[in-house]
Copies of this chain bind each other. A is one copy, B any other.
Amino acid sequence: MENVRDLSSTEVRELIRKQKIIGPTAGMATGYTQANLVIFKKEHAFDFLLFCQRNPKPCPLLDVTEPGSFVPKKLSNKADIRTDLPKYRIFQDGVFTEEVNEITDYWEDDMVAFLLGCSFTFEAPLLENEIPVRHIEENCNVPMFKTNIPCEKAGIFEGPTVVSMRPMTPEDAIRATQITSRFPSVHGAPIHLGDPSLIGISDISKPDFGNFVTINEGEIPVFWACGVTPQAVAMESKPSIMISHAPGCMFISDVKDETLSVI
């Protein structure tokens, strides 16, 4: 699938829609923004929208569909959110029940889809700045941790902030702060660096989600608010139905990463 890197977003979505791609999308359609997906019925949409507005670092909204519409117009007016991701997860009353390759049968006419920024967008400029990204080097998932930093509650939605961790030298941490600050709509600047216990992480070698990665001598852990937060919070709030992307199987938009920078 190496050549998928050079395809356009439209071309990759076409392959996904035909279920020729049914796995993780990392590295596909280079330069195009990938997004997290969460879908609720209208009854929870206001609370969730408010939750995202109140917690923009873990929940940076890129697009919200009109109730009943499966077209994420801001990210791609040619896409269909029901078929254009490789893999979805269905949660009923907060319990993961099924993994599917399209959700046409689950779609209801009062559903609202939320598309949230993803760290893939800021990892590209980190790499271009020669800042090593350990989980990419080690070919595994980024390590993620639940913290003791509470999100601002909104309606039924509340819970702790989840962070992703990338180890790097202090010098690289400073440069990474500058780079990611330019991208507030994909989590922005780090929310912590150094001592993990200060944000309630007792063992840095045991992530709550994703994989452990090597922390070299002279490196510090750097923590960014993570797009897993809204899913984790939503699961705990047990809405009757919630649909999300499967881990790593993101929505590939027609928006270019660089257009998300604020300066």
Q: Give the interface of A toward B (CB within 8 A).
A: 42, 45-46, 49-50, 52-54, 61, 64, 66, 73-74, 152, 154-155, 178, 181-182, 184, 188-189, 262-263
Considering the complex, give the chain B residue whose CB is closest to the CB of A46.
Answer: B46
Q: Are B188 and A262 in contact (CB under 8 A)?
A: yes
Count identical subunits in the complex. 2
Set of chain B residues within 8 Å of A184, measured between Cβ atoms: 184, 262
Q: Which residues of B contact A42 (CB under 8 A)?
A: 46
Report which residue of A53, A54, A61 has the largest number of chain B beta carbons within 10 angstroms of its beta carbon. Answer: A53
The A contact surface, by secondary structure, is: mixed
Question: 15 A–B contact pairs at CB < 8 A?
Answer: A42-B46, A46-B49, A49-B49, A50-B64, A52-B53, A53-B61, A54-B74, A73-B152, A74-B152, A178-B263, A181-B262, A182-B262, A182-B263, A184-B184, A188-B262
Known: A74-B152, A178-B263, A182-B262. 8 other contacts (CB 8 A): A50-B66, A52-B53, A54-B64, A66-B154, A66-B155, A181-B262, A184-B262, A262-B262
- Closest approach, in angstroms, between the C-beta of A42 and any C-beta of chain B? 8
